[in-house]
């Protein structure tokens, strides 16, 4: 990838300084080994189905990582089913599929070890096994001798290599072990290398190492052994990404981690910024050509598949990674994008966003209007800025509600939506004791909500009623009855999230409420906002904006 492709946008190298040579410079390739499906799934709150795992594997292959670790065959029925289905269903174009396991048991025979048998039976061309490299763990956790600890590693790798497999060795607790007893830790690695391991992966299993130690230790080990090294880091000190970069600088040719940093405790090192940093800042090849701009999409898709909200502040791919709020910044960016952006957002599949708030100036609104294809006169720009500042003072928050902001700007340009005009709406919620699903004090409770809307579509007055699970759902149902036949795109608009925040809590139940509604039509997602002392009115504002925005963009 050239420097221009990597994101250098100005004379100062906004895409990052790319060294010409050396351990951190151009000309190197670093393998990306993804363990989201195993180590990542250990994060509290993640529970992947087999279908989820297959879909994530395809996303990783599309991104172009070198290795995809599928899990531990034989560990649980789900992983067994996954590897069984993967044999016939998983057709990878780029990545190598890997089964994970451990060394043989203490004083066991490799040809009788069930874990090794499961690895061979998984049907993958590569396997990764974990073994103890900290003498403390060998004597206290395995309760065996140091000699046996070394032999367990050597025997297992030799056996798997004899089956024609590519073997990666995860040296568990290596950095802690090396600090406490470097002689023993190196002895284990030497045995693994002699047995034929293709990669020796130094693991910071407890996640307590710091970058200067990681770089030093990787460099020292690399000077002792010829087998290529990898690193597997956790983020317990908040240094996971930095440690991975340090490991590469020290000579590692492989980084093991997870997409979005998922993993037990505080997570693994996040492959997303690691890939971007190595490629854009250090000139190191990590993905096949023309794949880097898939990074944002893959990160967000996997977040959805594990049912986690993507982090807006995640480096490179977060929604806020290239978002600019202050008027001074946006004014400068309108002239020179590299003034406040360290790489081209498009290089990683992201984009520049100009947030509109009480800090906004004319340049912010002008840029936002230009994105919409609108050329607002100076006096209109001034009016929009003043209106936004007044609305934000009342509690609106347009930087998180781009759809409502767009409708406001379009309205200022003279556009008027002609889908329908509201005359009135009414919501009735009835609480009934009897046969409901929830019991309170041994009395079943049933809630029923009904909404009626009266509106005009052209010259036709329409009165429609709908029922739903609460006021917003009932209003949405009533709108569907009223206009869905006239606007087929209405049926595709689904509400996916509903957030309520009380803005002035000292007023108690009379406080101003802010409502955010997230909607989708299956291909895009947008957010709208409503603010009122009445939560139903605030919800209606956000709901109507959502529907109008979706209908307006039906052909996008």
pLDDT per position as a tens digit, 339-378: 778 898 899 998 776 666 545 556 667 777 887 888 888 8
Q: Which residues of the chain have pLDDT under 50?
A: 1-23, 358, 440
Options 3.20.20.70, 3.40.47.10, 3.20.20.30, 3.40.1130.10; CATH for 26-288 is 3.20.20.70
Residues of the chain with CATH 3.20.20.70: 26-288
Is residue 163 a contact partner of residue 125, using CB atoms and an 8 Å limit? no
* Residue 1: predicted pLDDT: 32
Please enumerate, as own/partner, the contacts of 285-288 that have beta carbons within 8 Å and a separation of 24 or more. Answer: 285/1, 285/28, 285/29, 285/30, 286/29, 286/30, 286/32, 287/32, 287/63, 287/64, 287/65, 288/64, 288/94
Is residue 412 a contact partner of residue 384, using CB atoms and an 8 Å limit? yes
Chain segment 144-189, per-residue pLDDT in tens:
999 999 999 999 999 999 999 999 999 999 999 999 999 999 999 9
Q: Nearest-CA neighbor of 204 among 180, 172, 230?
A: 172
pTM of the predicted structure, to 2 decimals? 0.70
HEC per residue, 166-225? EEEEEEECHHHHHHHCHHHHHHHHHHHHHHCCCEEEEEECCCCCCHHHHHHHHHHHHHHC
Query: What is the distance between the alpha carbons of residues 284 and 276, in angstroms, rounded to a whole number?
Result: 10
Strand partners, 421: 456
Percent of the chain past pLDDT 70, that is, above it, reads 86
Chain segment 448-482, per-residue pLDDT in tens:
899 999 999 999 999 999 999 889 999 999 999 99
* Residue 9: predicted pLDDT: 34
* Residue 194: predicted pLDDT: 97
Beta strands (DSSP E) in 400-512 are: 421-440, 443-457, 460-468, 494-502
* Residue 304: predicted pLDDT: 78
């Amino acid at each position: 990838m050239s420097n221009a492709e990597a994101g250098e946008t100005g004379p100062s190298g906004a895409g990052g300084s790319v060294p010409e040579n050396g351990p951190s410079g151009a000309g190197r390739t670093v393998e990306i080994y993804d363990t989201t499906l195993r180590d990542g799934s250990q994060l509290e709150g993640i529970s992947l189905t087999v279908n989820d795992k297959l879909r994530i594997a395809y996303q990783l292959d599309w991104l172009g990582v070198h290795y995809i670790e599928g899990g531990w065959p034989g560990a649980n029925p789900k992983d067994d089913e996954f590897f069984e289905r993967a044999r016939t269903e998983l057709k990878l174009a780029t990545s190598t599929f890997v089964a994970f396991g451990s060394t043989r048991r203490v004083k066991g025979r490799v040809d009788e070890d069930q874990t090794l048998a499961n690895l061979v039976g998984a049907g993958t061309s590569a396997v990764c096994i974990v073994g103890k490299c900290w003498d403390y763990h060998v004597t206290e956790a395995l309760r065996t001798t140091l000699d046996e600890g070394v032999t367990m590693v050597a025997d297992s790798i030799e056996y798997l290599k004899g089956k024609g497999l590519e073997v990666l060795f995860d040296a568990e607790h290596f950095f802690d072990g090396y600090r406490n007893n470097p002689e023993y830790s190196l002895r284990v690695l030497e045995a693994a290398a002699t047995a034929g391991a293709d990669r020796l992966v130094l693991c910071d299993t407890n996640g307590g190492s710091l970058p200067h130690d990681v770089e030093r230790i990787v460099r020292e080990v690399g000077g002792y052994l010829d087998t290529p090294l990898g690193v597997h880091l956790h983020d317990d000190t908040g240094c996971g990404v930095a440690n991975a970069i340090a490991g590469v600088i020290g000579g590692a040719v492989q980084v093991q981690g997870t997409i979005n940093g998922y993993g037990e405790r505080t997570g693994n090192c996040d492959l997303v910024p690691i890939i971007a940093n190595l490629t854009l800042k250090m000139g190191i090849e990590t993905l096949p050509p023309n794949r880097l701009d898939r990074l944002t999409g893959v990160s967000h898709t996997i977040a959805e598949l594990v049912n986690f909200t993507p982090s807006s502040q995640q480096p490179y791919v977060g929604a806020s990674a290239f978002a600019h709020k202050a008027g001074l910044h946006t004014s400068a960016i309108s002239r020179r994008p590299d003034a406040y952006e360290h790489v081209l957002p498009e290089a990683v599949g992201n984009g520049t966003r100009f947030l509109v708030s009480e800090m906004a100036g004319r340049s912010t609104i002008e840029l936002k209007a230009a994105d919409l294809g609108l050329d607002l006169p100076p006096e209109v720009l001034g009016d929009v800025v003043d209106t936004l500042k007044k609305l934000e003072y009342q509690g609106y928050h347009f930087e998180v509600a781009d759809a409502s902001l767009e409708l406001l700007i379009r309205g200022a340009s003279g556009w008027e939506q002609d889908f329908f005009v509201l005359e009135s709406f009414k919501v009735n919620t009835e609480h009934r004791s009897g046969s409901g699903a929830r019991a309170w004090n041994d009395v079943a409770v049933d809630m029923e909500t009904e909404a009626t809307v009266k509106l005009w579509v052209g010259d036709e007055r329409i009165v429609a009623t709908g029922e739903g699970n609460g006021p917003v759902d009932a209003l949405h149902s009533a709108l569907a009855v009223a206009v869905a036949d006239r606007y087929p795109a209405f049926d595709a608009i689904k509400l996916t999230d509903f957030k309520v925040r009380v803005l002035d809590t000292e007023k108690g139940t009379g406080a101003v409420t802010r409502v955010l509604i997230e909607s989708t039509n299956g291909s895009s997602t947008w957010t709208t906002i409503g603010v009122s002392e009445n939560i139903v009115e605030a919800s209606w504002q956000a709901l109507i904006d959502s529907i109008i925005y979706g209908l307006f963009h039906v052909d996008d």
